[in-house]
Amino acid sequence: MAKLIVAEKPSVAMSYAKVLGATSRQDGYLEGNGYLVSWCVGHLVELAPPNVYDAKYVKWSIADLPILPQKWQYLVSASTKKQFGILQKLMNRPDVDSIVNSCDSGREGELIFRLVYQQAGCKKPVSRLWLSSMEENAIREGFAHLKPSTEYDALYNAALCRERADWMVGINASRLFSCLYGQPLAVGRVMTPVLAMTVVREAAIAAFTPEKFYTVDLELTSGCTASSCRIPEKSVAENLLKACRKEMVATIQRITRKEKSENPPPLYDLTTLQRDANRLLGYSAQQTLDYVQSLYEKKLTTYPRTDSCYITDDDEEMLEELTEELEGFLDITSTDVDEAVPRTRRTVNREKVTDHHAILPTRSMLQADLEALPKGEQNVLKLIIARTLMAVSTPFRYLETLLTTECAGEEFTAKGKEVLEEGWKAVERKVLADILNRKQELTALPNVAENECGILNAELKEGQTTPPKHFTEDLLLHAMETASADSMPEGVERQGIGTPATRAATIEKLVQKGFLERKGTKKTKVLLPTDKGKALITVMPEEIQSADMTADWEAKLLQIERSEMEPETFMTEIKEMISSLVTTTEAAKGANALMKNKIFGVCPNCGKPVVEREKGWFCENRECRFVLWKDNAFFKRLGKRLDSHVADKLLRDGRVRLKDCKSAKGKTYNATVLLGTEPDGRSKFSLEFEGGC
């Protein structure tokens, strides 16, 4: 008899097969040593569209809403029918007596397997492989200690509720608002509140009125500069400046010295890694997820889609041994960490480890050729190594000095910091120097013995208050993670919008659908709502764009995952909200003008306007076949995406220069993409290589 192993991806299946001894390649699976090892390709089985329930749903009509299936139906994805057929045949083979769900160890991995298992009509016993590392030893250990599938029933229920809630909100809200405003509008349970955050932020920036303020700075003979408090009126500040220049002496009022410390940052979960990679390297959340997923599959890091920054007691010894071996990386020495015993206890908290512990480098990484990795993976791995060492280092200790002086009846202050023990900052300093080519400097105040200091110079400085910052992906991820935290009961976990595993995809969908756009330099891009995104939020009712409601749903999904809430209760709430939305929502007055498609450029084929829609940039001339598809095969082959910036350049100049395109062999090169048209009006692309290559 044989045991069937079902992985989520082919690359992961190959790793399992190698360990299990299934070395004979077949069509869509591997076989050997009593095992059959096959794989899914993402979601092989998906929820059926509305027209499968009733043919009338082909046409979008408010009269047919809400669409709330009583019995859910599923279909095999058209692009993956072959692999589903292979799995179905393997599951029902007479010699297969049991199956191991070896899909990713998380909510979506559980859903992917179970939908295939059910659609295949399989009834054979199932056990669960649950891994946090793809190292061979971890795989062997996992297969030696398989768990009953029933232990993950609650996880599956949460995944089902998430999938079905998203379907109901997306289908009903998208159809409702598309019909109300006469054009296709994509509305999502998570996507719309995130878009609303950016629109509200931009409105606050636009409404912000900067206010000027003034300070008087005194350059003292002691070697430091003391500043007054902010003064709103320029005339008052000028009078103070005159008085100080007249006296030219400052009296030392007090010197306060206080020893302070900063504990090391925790280990990385996915969101904090994505935030740091965006802030320090300019990587998008999706890029970072792709890099760390690849590192995981190469056995160089542990499971990436984790929401925990801690490890369990069982992992402490492993971490202590690992950190000793990691010091050679990034030139971290015992001097940098003050020869201290690693503080691994600070990283241990069993209660805060859910499905997986924090992201860590693996022992396999120590023997790997890291120079052979793509640059993005190298950089993300450096961050993970550095954070691991930082988390177990000593606190950063410093002496903070506050010098308070008086001149012309006003107080002036100067602050300084003096490092006492660099601790974890030594690691941070080296990482910043390596990645950003800059160092962090601290300013220490000189010792002041006299009661008075002479004033070498006094000058007036003008400043102004600053508006809220535009959202970078770092800041938006933080906003998503902490959304509704103030309004949720104390102790409730995962109050935020989405999960660590889905937040990157949410941002990408908003960009791809033309609701958000990235602007700025390579390392400091901001996310701005487009006119289309602003218009959508303008017409959305509060319950659809509310971060509180969406975060509340996410908290309830976590309760279902922990068997603390019945799935039926959650689904009833969703259905009631959707029914209320359909019956109470009317078109906002004057909104049709807001929702009108914005002209994006001129069609190179017929000269008519080109407008942006959900799937691409279309010529408004119905007789013309010109379109730039967002999901563009030509750009995918280059490892690039056809976004609004690229589309704008192509329509305006007929060409766009791209850096770091990828060849079929994985090498990078720079090239210019030229836009042309076929005789029938369809778009076509060609490449112009640099240097005549």
The residues annotated with a catalytic role in the active site are: 303
Q: Of 42, 496, 508, 435, give the one whose Cα is nearest residue 287.
A: 508
Tell me the C-alpha distance between 531 and 535, whole Å: 6
User: Max Cα separation, the chain?
Assistant: 100
> Which run of H or E residues covers position 454?
strand 452-464
Torsion of CA 23, 25, 26, 27, to 10 degrees: 130
Q: Classify 277 as helix, strand or coil.
A: helix
- The position carrying tokens 């659609």 is 119
Q: Return the DSSP state at 229.
A: P
Q: What residue type is 328 in one-letter code?
A: G
Full strand arrangement of the beta sheet holding 126-128:
24-26, 29-32, 35-39, 2-7, 96-102, 126-128, 147-148
> Whole-angstrom Cα distance, residue 174 to residue 170?
6
CA distance 215 to 23: 74
Pairing assessment for the beta strands 126-128 and 147-148 based on DSSP bridges: antiparallel
One DSSP character per residue, 336-369 reads TTTTPPP-GGGGB-GGG--SS--B-B-SGGGGS-
CA torsion, ordered 9, 42, 193, 184, to nearest 10 deg: 140
Residue 458, φ and ψ in degrees, nearest 5: -130, 130
652 and 600 Cβ atoms separated by less than 8 Å: no
Is residue 453 within 8 Å of 220, Cβ to Cβ?
yes
Among 228, 222, 261, 231, residue whose Cα is nearest residue 244: 228
Report DSSP letters for 185-202, one per residue: ----TTHHHHHHHHHHHH
The CA distance from 676 to 654, in Å, is: 7
Give the tokens for residue 272.
């904090």
Tokens standing for 263?
Answer: 């504990």
Q: Which of 271, 161, 193 is nearest to 501 (CA)?
A: 271
Q: CB-based contacts of 262: which residues, under 8 Å, 6+ apart?
A: 395, 396, 425
Contact criterion met (CB below 8 Å) for 195 and 516? yes
CA distance 484 to 69: 30
Which residue shows structure tokens 């900067």?
210
- 609-613/616-619 β-pairing: antiparallel
Q: Order across the sheet with 655-662: list the strands.
A: 655-662, 668-677, 683-689
Q: Is 225 helix (H, G, I), strand (E, B) or coil?
A: strand
- The one-letter amino acid code at 440 reads Q
DSSP assignment letter at 497: S
What's the chain's length in residues? 693
Work out whether the CA dihedral 166, 171, 177, 178 comes out positive or negative: positive
Radius of gyration of the chain (CA): 30
The residues, any chain, with a CB within 8 Å of residue 136's CB and separated by 6 or more, are 15, 18, 19, 299, 364
Give me the residues paired with residue 673 across strands. Answer: 656, 687
